[in-house]
A = this chain, B = another copy of it.
Amino acid sequence: MVNPSWRTLRYNDPFMSLVVVGSVAYDGIETPHGKEDRLLGGSATYISLAARFFGPAQIVAVVGEDFAAEDVQLLKDRGVDLEGLERAAGKTFYWSGVYSEDLNDRTTLRTDLNVFAEFSPKLPAAYRSESYLFLGNIQPTLQSQVREQMTGARLVGGDTMNLWIRENRQELAETLRRWDVLLVNDSEARMLSGENHLRRAAEKILAMGPRTLIIKRGEYGAVLFRRDGYFVTPGFLLESVFDPTGAGDSFAGGFMGYLAGCGADPDDHLVLRQAVIYGSVLGSFCCERFGVRRLLDLTRDEIDARYREFRAFTQF
């Protein structure tokens, strides 16, 4: 049995910062449990709010003139560094969607890219020497540009989506070559590899560059694939799911935040497994309330208790 706090001590530089590139948005969300408009959202928001439990998080994103001062304050209060948050003329990215009765399907009602349409990530000078980078779901060429500016990065992870897999396959292949970790969901993995079967899909994707592939399976958990082995975790059985929005991004934040927080080596298979559990823990908490709300009142003690519960309910 490995004690995660002991593992942390093995590394030289704990509590390293995680640079997160992605979107900051306002979301309109309707689930069987209620309806809310203009909730603070976006991938960079969820990722940084989940990652900050393990160490500092720094956002590279863009918002419009309508972005509320209290939302800036909310992120600052949680220790999220906003030097890389650009404010542009126009409105903040807005998305709205409605979930099915069982929360397994969601229909997008509106996507107004607004200032996000012209987003060109600008890394503040201070961020360029950081060691941990997560490239949220943006156009692959933009991901490459950020990656190239962080030449000394120790561990680079990233995300993508069906749109880029379909429309920008070549650019995506180029940026993937320089990532350590790719996080996708199962349908994206199938689309990217052209393989329906998860193990064969993983083999093809690992051949594209990333040495670690995480496939998220929603309520059914996640799988980690590497050439030196694989790891499967079931999902946490929540008492009730209020709103699954941002669960995948919270997973990414928990996963990458834990790795940065313990200064992990990108090929330490055991620490990567622990990071998958922390990702699952953060993703599960995210669903317990609307939008980012559960991430705001969450404590590190609650996170560690659920991590221990994962160990207890998977051991045999």
Known contacts being A274-B316, A316-B273, is A220 close to B220, with CB within 8 Å? yes
Contact A230 B234 (CB under 8 A): no
Q: Are A237 and B231 in contact (CB under 8 A)?
A: no
Interface of A is mostly: mixed
9-residue interface stretch from A14-22, A49-57, A71-79, A307-315: A307-315
Whether A223 sits at the interface, judged by CB under 8 Å, is yes
Contact flags A125-143 to B (C-beta < 8 A → 1, else 0): 0000000000000000000
Render A195-206 as a binary contact track against B, CB cut-off 8 A, 1 for contact.
Answer: 011110000000
Find out whether the CB atom of A220 lies under 8 angstroms from the CB atom of B234: yes
Q: Does A229 contact B (CB under 8 A)?
A: yes
Chain A contact residues (Cβ within 8 angstroms of B): what range? 20 to 34
Query: A276: which B residues are within 8 A, CB to CB?
Result: 316
Evaluate whether A314 and B233 lie within 8 angstroms (CB atoms) in the complex, with A102-B196, A197-B240, A199-B239 already known.
yes
| Nearest B residue (CB) for A231 | B313
Q: Which residues of B contact A223 (CB under 8 A)?
A: 234, 237
Within 8 A of B (CB), among A192-239: 196-199, 217, 220-221, 223, 229-234, 237-239
Which of A196, A233, A277, A313 has its CB near the most chain B CB atoms (within 10 A)?
A: A313
Give which listed residue, B229, B238, B277, B313, contacts A229 with CB less than 8 A: B313
A270 within 8 A of B: yes
Bound form: Cα–Cα A274–B232 in Å: 17
A273-303 interface mask toward B, CB cutoff 8 Å, 1 = contact, 0 = none? 1101100000000000000000000000000
Contact check, A234 vs B233: say whether CB atoms are below 8 A apart: yes
A-B CB contact pairs (8 Å), 18 listed: A197-B239, A199-B239, A220-B221, A220-B234, A221-B234, A223-B237, A229-B313, A231-B313, A232-B237, A232-B314, A233-B234, A233-B314, A233-B316, A234-B234, A273-B315, A273-B316, A276-B316, A311-B316
